[in-house]
Structure 1
């Protein structure tokens, strides 16, 4: 089964207004995807609900990510699995994912599986394996003062965390796969560039898919890496995203479901490049969303795109 492919989509700007007030919810009981679906309202998709509960059960509690998880969970209550009858997926068959045994990846891989993974670049880089940030394999010492790149959960600066969390959960244009990422992300990788700071060399994100199912097993390990970039007024940064398989996994089955969100301040600049070199038996759904403050009115222009 070749990797899924979706032509990138660019849509007109929208104004973002929160529509849902989140309520405290009880954690659902755990059950596998193979069990009989529980009774839900008529607009619910039993398969999507089962997948959401399986992802929720695989996560550790996180105060920082709870708003994102809650909004994603609420969205999935009324979202069905897409078919070719849906316009965005008219040329894309997602039944490969739907008919697989989707398995959340619950822990980072052993370092033994990732030899010399950052030895091919001199750029500041960060390694994300199966959705987990590997700080020991990342090289970020050349970044300018004040620039932070790393895990939201391990950030020691309350100021940066508070600034990022102002935006988390406010992007409301996403589809099913956007929400699956939001409910399944173990952590969030943050890039924060202060006002007026220019990062000369692009930051290289290397996403590595380590877990993989064998042919005929129908097992499809899923990872949900999420990256949030905030560039304050007048700042500049370049982002390179590269998606690869672990060496020797060129024929394995897995699902990478990443999301990149970018907030660009007035007069700031972000350059973005994207490289994909993964197993042809894998599924890859990618969301990139950008919110940019205009020079004249201070409003937010929103650009969004999805590739697969």
Structure 2
């Protein structure tokens, strides 16, 4: 098994009328679809992708619970599931993957990670506010949020106020340029990490995001656990923040797939500084999306 790394970085502008509010969507149906079932886009479906989507859905904590999920997660999984029904696994014949061979992932035994590790002591840099994600799951016990300005939030979507929840919901799933791996992340993310900076607020110290892959296999077994960490950064008008991302793997676990998404939304006059460190096994697969949207408010 050879190392694979693919990191698209996008920057787009969006014209937004602040008076408009999104329509609430109904709770999405489960994505499970029989391969013999006929649906409008069946001729374009990929059995391997659908099987992977079903296994991701079954791995989610919400799959065994009747409790409704937060609206942003519902919207994300709804849009991702619809995309996965009609998106084939990429090959090197596809222009974006002309120099990226993903056959190593497809030939492995992909296993979604169903729960976070509970026996791991994670240390972070004490001088920076930090958020730790282990195999895609946010570790609240590892939060270091000292010296953050008032109104700044760093943590799980499940802990945000109603106001921040609404703001995150306004933007989630709007991005239309993501590929298959973007949608796999959206379907398999067990939670959303949220960094919120209110209008006019300047966060002096950068916020440190540590992604740790704990579950792993060895080269001979072809086992490939997949994690789907996802973080949304929302910086309101005039706000400023720095983000440092670091990806590491637990020593001894060589084969794993980290399929990460960082989605950044920046208001008028806002600034985000971003750094990215990758310290992972050479036998791991690493696919990383960094998408940046700058809001442009149009007056009517």
Same fold (TM over 0.5): yes
**Structure-1 separation of matches of 2:14 and 2:222:** 39
| 1:1-308 equivalent positions in 2, closer than 5 A | 1-6=1-6, 8=8, 26-27=29-30, 38=36, 41-61=42-62, 62-64=69-71, 65-110=73-118, 112-113=119-120, 115-118=121-124, 120-155=125-160, 157-249=161-253, 252-294=254-296, 298=298
SS at match of 1:257: strand
Residues 25 and 197 of structure 1, relative CA distance in 2, 3 Å threshold: closer
Counterpart for residue 66 of structure 2:
none
Q: How big is each residue's C-alpha offset from its partner over 1:172-229, in whole Å with a ceiling of 9 and x where there is no partner?
A: 1100000000000000000000001100000000000000012211111000001001
Residues 13 and 292 of structure 1, relative CA distance in 2, 3 Å threshold: closer
By how many angstroms is 1:137 displaced? 1.2
Residue pair 1:221, 1:254 contacting (<8 A) in 2 also: yes
Residue pair 1:30, 1:54 contacting (<8 A) in 2 also: no
**Structure-2 separation of matches of 1:11 and 1:51:** 29
SS at match of 2:274: strand
Runs of 5+ unmatched residues, structure 1:
32-36, 300-308
Residues 109 and 84 of structure 1, relative CA distance in 2, 3 Å threshold: same
Which deviates the most, 278-287 or 38-47?
38-47
By how many angstroms is 1:11 displaced? 7.0
Report the TM-score, using the length of structure 2 for normalisation.
0.87
Residue pair 2:81, 2:187 contacting (<8 A) in 1 also: yes
**Structure-1 separation of matches of 2:164 and 2:181:** 27
Identify the structure with the greater helix proportion.
2
By how many angstroms is 1:5 displaced? 3.0
Residue pair 1:38, 1:46 contacting (<8 A) in 2 also: no
By how many angstroms is 1:57 displaced? 1.3
**Structure-2 separation of matches of 1:83 and 1:146:** 45
SS at match of 1:270: strand
By how many angstroms is 1:169 displaced? 1.2
SS at match of 2:44: coil
SS at match of 1:166: helix
Report the TM-score, using the length of structure 1 for normalisation.
0.85
What is the RMSD computed on CA atoms of the aligned residues?
A: 2.3
By how many angstroms is 1:105 displaced? 0.5
Residues 215 and 6 of structure 1, relative CA distance in 2, 3 Å threshold: closer
Residues 187 and 124 of structure 1, relative CA distance in 2, 3 Å threshold: same
Residues 166 and 274 of structure 1, relative CA distance in 2, 3 Å threshold: same
SS at match of 2:143: strand
**Structure-2 separation of matches of 1:45 and 1:280:** 29
